[in-house]
A and B are shown apart, each in its own frame.
Chain A
Amino acid sequence: MLTFILKRLAQAIPVLLAIYTITFFMIRFSPGSPFSDERKVAEHIIAAQSEYYGFNDPVPVQYLNTLLQHLQLNLPPITSHPGLTAADIISESFPVSLELGIWAMLIALTLGIPAGVLAAARQNTTLDYAPMSLAMVGICLPTFVIGPILALVFGIWLQWTSVSGWSTPTDRVLPSLTLGLFYAAYIARLTRGGMLEILSSDFVRTARAKGASEFRAVVVHALRGGILPVVSFLGPALAGLVTGSFVVESIFQIPGLGRHFVEATFNKDQSLILSTVLFYAGLIMLANLSVDVVQVLLNPKLRHK
């Protein structure tokens, strides 16, 4: 298991390097500059700023310098928030995004898994069709339609919750729901599919034959195997949560990392873009790795591969 993890970590290095290189050159060769502003700024100030941020060095030197700074976790200063570094922005705003993601995932799992198990256990009855039709709705409706509609109905018409911000507990309700509903729907479908396959297998029939209650057969025996598709979905789901957070944070004006990233691209803040992209890439890879480890732990068949 340890060799597996180490091997995967070693594989991640060239990918991260490729991401760094692509992003670096994409930013360097794009038109526009972080200092293009409506206000007129004196030439010598721009020159001094360019010197400070290291934009005057030859490109290969910049490439190596920035790479070294990232390797030492000593992130370069950023242009859109003078005096701060990307590390400050990430450490301040990532916890917000993380909390949003955790709430969304909790909602998705607590709604999705029971709905899927119920639908599979009562296949081809109303208890199957009703949640599965709802799940189809949840999958087809895009986040940026669900979000504003929820805000309109519950925030503006019914006045139950707030529609923007991230300071009080009620601020968390709508964003987490908006982000979580798609995953709840997807997880419900995956759980149903996985459970249907397992419920018809021999060991569940044996359990039933030996007099296990329906609850015991479904929840204790079948669920462990039936949930495997959900576990393998969690890796891609995390990558999706990251991009979903761009939209949700923009709808509900949440000061998370997603919003900072989108703003950084608007401001052409080269250092912040680069550091954030690398941070996201590392995060997604780490998530995929932990999902693979969990999968191996849950599924004995994979252990000897």
Chain B
Amino acid sequence: MRLSPKLPTDTDAPSSLWNDALRRLLDNRLAMAGLAFFAFITLFCYAGPLVYRFNPEAQVLALESTLPFTTAHLVEVRFDPSKATPDEVTTLEDFAEVYAQNPEAELAALATGQPLEVNGMLFTPLTRFHVFGTDAKGRDMLARIMSGGRISLGVGFLATATALLIGVAYGSISGYLGGRVDALMMRFVDILYALPFLIFVILLMVLFEDFEHKILLVFLAIGAVEWLTMARIVRGQVINLKEQEFVLAAKATGVRTASIITKHIAPNLLGPVVVYATLLIPAVMLLESVLSFLGLGTQANAASWGSLIREGQQAMRSAPWQLIAPSLFFSATLFAMNFLGDGLRDALDVKSAKD
């Protein structure tokens, strides 16, 4: 089954590079599945909380590590029946042990769903359904996965944007100017390549751990590392392009340098840059998660998927779902992004065009 729009016939306008690429992308089912899943996960993380209204930070100790797909039965305890907020939320077992006078009868009464008054205290039955259960502090796993996804995706995009900005600017200047400037600029990149960069990112994260906006630091650090490859790719493309006949023709007919760069060179750079950026997003998310997993990245109030997996690993003996649920979401997202990136690469690869 073809998913692409009708192919252009001879009478239609000639197919452009971008039309061809779009057609190839639409025909690549793995890439489209990746795109669909990626759209779903973005929607899930950003719009999900509108539907699934659990506060990812709300700790309910009575609910610690409840199983996924089960309904937890709780009791709200009010020492003063007129109060709006409960003084305590407790499990049925604790209620029977601590508050009940005649446990069997009172538990049966609560099971009807009606509030119950004993000794001047008001007990209201409460049922909560947590899709993926709760974590060790009684926080809803699914809500935490949504908020963790926002952090992971946010870091992925912002750090990629940082890398993109530096890399494209650096690479195109170096490539277009050429000569001694180019040699000097690329030598600098070579030296940076030789540095063990993740070690520096780790150092940066730890040494400035008291920094207020740590998440800013995370994507600045990652972006500053990842621009090197982008700069190399862009430079290679620019050097290639500026020798092409159509650029020479534009120069010969007196087109201004600014126009040559924006109208002739930039559109041709777009392909490799888009492909590399798409593949960079999962790579950056991975790097951020490694930092979080080591306990160096985003923390406590802004737990990314990496932090959730770290917490899950610590609790995996007694509560394996706390490890499995965030791992599934994270891996599936990385899969989707990689398939999409590979599909884009195949679709935009100018060398293999006109099949």
Contact = CB atoms under 8 A, between A and B. Distances in A.
Interface stretch (A115-123, A193-201, A240-248): A240-248
Contacts of A266: 206, 295
Contact of A27 (B191, B203, B294, B330): B203
Contacts of B206: 265-266, 268
Nearest to B317: A156
B320 interface: yes
Contacts of A22: 195, 200
Contact of A149 (B198, B204, B210, B327): B327
B184 to A, nearest CB: 15
Chain B: interface residue count, which band? 35 or more
Contacts of B335: 136-137, 140
A281 interface: yes
B316 A152 contact: yes
Interface stretch (B21-29, B86-94, B164-172, B306-314): B306-314
Contacts of A291: none
Interface in A21-51: 22-23, 26-27, 30-32
A265 B203 contact: yes
Contact of A148 (B207, B209, B323): B323
Contacts of A140: 282, 331, 334-335, 338
B195 A281 contact: yes
A62 interface: no
B208 A30 contact: yes
A23 B290 contact: no
Contacts of B204: 26
A142 B334 contact: yes
Contacts of A268: 206-207
Nearest to B326: A145
Chain A: interface residue count, which band? 35 or more
Nearest to A141: B331
Interface in A54-84: none
A149 B196 CA distance: 29
A78 to B, nearest CB: 16
Contacts of B312: 148
B331 A285 contact: no
A250 interface: yes
A26 B194 CA distance: 18
B289 A144 contact: yes
Select the residue from A140, A145, A152, A243 with max chain B CB neighbours within 10 A: A145
Interface of B: 191, 194-196, 198-200, 202-204, 206-210, 282, 286, 289-290, 293-296, 306, 309-310, 312-313, 316-317, 320, 323-324, 327, 330-331, 334-335, 338
Interface of A: 12, 14-15, 18-19, 22-23, 26-27, 30-32, 136-137, 139-145, 147-149, 151-152, 156, 239, 242-243, 246-247, 250-251, 261-262, 265-266, 268, 273, 277, 280-281, 284-285, 288
Closest 8 CB pairs of A and B: A30-B207, A265-B206, A148-B313, A144-B293, A243-B198, A145-B327, A140-B334, A140-B335
Given A144-B309, A242-B196, 15 more contacts: A18-B195, A27-B207, A32-B210, A142-B331, A148-B323, A149-B327, A151-B316, A152-B323, A246-B294, A250-B293, A262-B294, A265-B203, A277-B196, A277-B199, A284-B196
